[in-house]
Chains A and B, each alone.
Chain A
Amino acid sequence: MRQTRAIELGTGLFVLLGFAALFFLVTQITNREFGLGGGGYRVLASFEQVGGLKPGAPVSMSGVTIGHVERIDYDFSEYKARVTMRIDPNYNRIPNDSDAGIYTAGLLGGQYIGIGPGGSETYLADGDQMQFTQSAIVLENLISKFLFSKAAEKQADPPAEGPKP
């Protein structure tokens, strides 16, 4: 009797620890949030370029996370990427002329959506589309722009300076 009790105790401890570890891995290590899925309201925004934005990325205002990106798909009527965000119901007073931009957290960090509040008195509601958006910055585009402008400067430079008399 004593022995079976010890065995059962050990097994119970092991199984408890195993499931606790699984639970820890799913809830604490990943960016998935449970219980929030159904709540909140959806806001849409169209971007020329979403870069590396992924579903599940945070949506923040002044650095405070107020929601998550739910879906990213391509809208053929506008030829733009359409991002669906799910905003926490506590943050229901976002002016409807607010702007959304895609930013990068740190140099190698993940991308997130930052919302800058506008001045309107009416607030965004479920299913609304945000008017003002700023695309993700693609590093290659920046570099190529910089290089081309340098090249153009160089070509323009010599005649401007001209031979000194």
Chain B
Amino acid sequence: MLTSLARELLQSLGNALQALGAYTIFFLRLLKEVPRALLRFSLVVEQVHNAGALSLVIIMLSGLFVGMVLGLQGFDLLERFGSEESLGSAAALGLLKELGPVVTALLFAGRAGTALASELGLMRATDQLAAMEVMAVDPIRRVVMPRFLGGVLSMPLLAAIFSMIGIFGAQLIGVQLMGVDAGQFWSQMRSAVEFDDVKEGVIKSCVFGVACSLIAVYEGYHSVPTAEGVGRATTRTVVISSVVVLLLDYMLTAAMM
């Protein structure tokens, strides 16, 4: 009884290790292809359109509402200490360092990651990837790589847009609705936010972009070629991405303190 439990535990530990190794090998393989993929840039541009431009509406809408909630909650909290004019700095720091990159990454995994995974999974299921191999076209180079790079390039831009719209959302509620002085809102924000805070947000969103795109293309590319397998790959993409983003977020925050 106990030995079988231990054996199972060991086995799942081994599986996790194996998955980590497979991810690393796949990532290194993608890295090796980066220079060649940049030469065929039109393919990457198409994927920037798919991952970035098409995610724009959901990112902007979410950013607006997250910013508005921040404005409302921040005002309610800060008013208790009689310092509601710090709302600008609180909202800007919260958005730039934490909410912007993390929420964007979660939305990105849901919107772009699932699209990537299901597309690649369907290609696998309908033997399109195998057909490419038969024609001596490397599917990683032709299909996976542009999708990966498109996601990596889109993510920081999406996070920046999210933060900017969020700050305007907080301003909308704080200044227009709650009556915080506009001058104090902006001047306190400008004196509190350092260049390093923006840099932290950009670094985070770049790392999340790499992680989310890698997980999406890996899961899609290695999906079981059945209808069920594609569905499972899509689900796994969202679940793994979300957990990894939150885990990485803690580690990056601790590292950049």
Chain A interface residues (CB < 8 Å from chain B)? 7-8, 10-11, 13-15, 17-19, 21-22, 24-26, 28-32, 56-58, 105-110
Contact = CB atoms under 8 A, between A and B. Distances in A.
Contact of A14 (B46, B157, B195, B198): B157
A18 B158 contact: yes
Contacts of B167: 29
Interface stretch (B122-130, B136-144, B184-192, B228-236): B184-192
Nearest to A14: B53
Q: Top 4 A-B pairs ranked by shortest CB distance?
A: A18-B157, A14-B53, A21-B160, A21-B164
A11 B150 CA distance: 11
B197 interface: yes
Interface in B155-177: 156-158, 160-161, 163-164, 167
A110 B190 CA distance: 10
Given A11-B52, A22-B160, 5 more contacts: A18-B154, A29-B92, A32-B194, A56-B194, A105-B191
B161 A26 contact: no
A26 B92 CA distance: 12
B103 interface: no
B193 A31 contact: yes
B45 A18 contact: no
A18 B45 CA distance: 15
Contact of B48 (A15, A58, A107): A15
Given A26-B198, A29-B96, A21 B163 contact: yes
B221 to A, nearest CB: 24
Interface in B38-68: 45-46, 48-49, 52-54, 56
B157 A29 contact: no
Contact of A30 (B49, B83, B188, B190): B190
B245 to A, nearest CB: 19
A32 B199 CA distance: 12
B158 A109 contact: no
B191 A21 contact: no
Of A15, A25, A106, the most chain B CB neighbours within 10 A belong to A25
A21 B157 contact: yes
B193 A30 contact: yes
A22 B195 contact: no
A108 B96 contact: no
25 contacts: A7-B45, A7-B46, A11-B53, A14-B48, A14-B49, A14-B56, A14-B154, A18-B52, A18-B157, A21-B160, A21-B161, A22-B156, A22-B160, A22-B202, A25-B198, A26-B195, A29-B92, A30-B190, A30-B198, A31-B193, A56-B194, A106-B85, A108-B83, A109-B188, A109-B191
A43 B172 CA distance: 41
Nearest to A18: B157
Contact of A25 (B45, B52, B96, B188): B96
A15 B198 CA distance: 18
B49 A22 contact: no
B86 interface: yes
A32 B52 contact: no
Contact of B45 (A11, A13, A28, A32): A11
Nearest to B46: A7
B191 A107 contact: no
B48 to A, nearest CB: 5
B105 to A, nearest CB: 15
Contacts of B45: 7-8, 11
Of B48, B83, B86, B191, the most chain A CB neighbours within 10 A belong to B191
B240 to A, nearest CB: 26
B52 A22 contact: no
Contacts of A57: 191
